[in-house]
Amino acid sequence: MQFNREKYIDIIMYILVKSYNKPHFGKTVLCTILYFIDFNYYKRYGESLTRESYIKSKKGIKPKHFKEISDELISKKQLFLRKEAYYHRTIHRYYLIIIPTVKFNKKEHEIIDLTISKLVDNNAHSITKYVKNNPLITETEFGEIINK
């Protein structure tokens, strides 16, 4: 299966639209939501929505293509990355420069919205604790790809 770059970008942009007013929303939460969108879609429909590979890291879940895609969106002036103080930590916040037009079919929209609404209010610490309850992630070693 080939990575679906356009769908992945659409989902990133859509998540950022839905989380614009969340001061705690940084890269860790964004990457975790991306994983659970694919996970939940796979669980329900038997296929990955973006076909992204996710790697277990000490900071949580690391999508394989995230850095490449986010750097591309920043260079195209569609996103802006700013490091911000958040209590005693620094978070990496992504801001939209353009308002995207994304199109999802009904089943994609349902899974995406459900996952975002469930996880968007978490900060990096609480979402990392949430991830530790997922058996697929706990069974995976650091640096390995998490199986769906």
Domain extent at residue 27: 5-138
Contact 80, 74 (CB under 8 A): yes
Kindly state whether residue 145 falls inside one of the protein's structural domains. no
Residue 148 has pLDDT above 80, yes or no: no
Question: Who's near 19: CB < 8 A, 6+ residues apart?
Answer: 25, 29, 30, 116, 120
Number of compact structural domains in the chain: 1
- Structure confidence at residue 92 (pLDDT): 95
- Structure confidence at residue 58 (pLDDT): 83
Kindly state whether residue 143 falls inside one of the protein's structural domains. no
Q: pLDDT tens digits for 65-111?
A: 999 999 999 999 999 999 999 888 899 999 999 988 889 999 999 99
Kindly state whether residue 115 falls inside one of the protein's structural domains. yes
Kindly state whether residue 146 falls inside one of the protein's structural domains. no
Residue 78 token pair: 């569609």
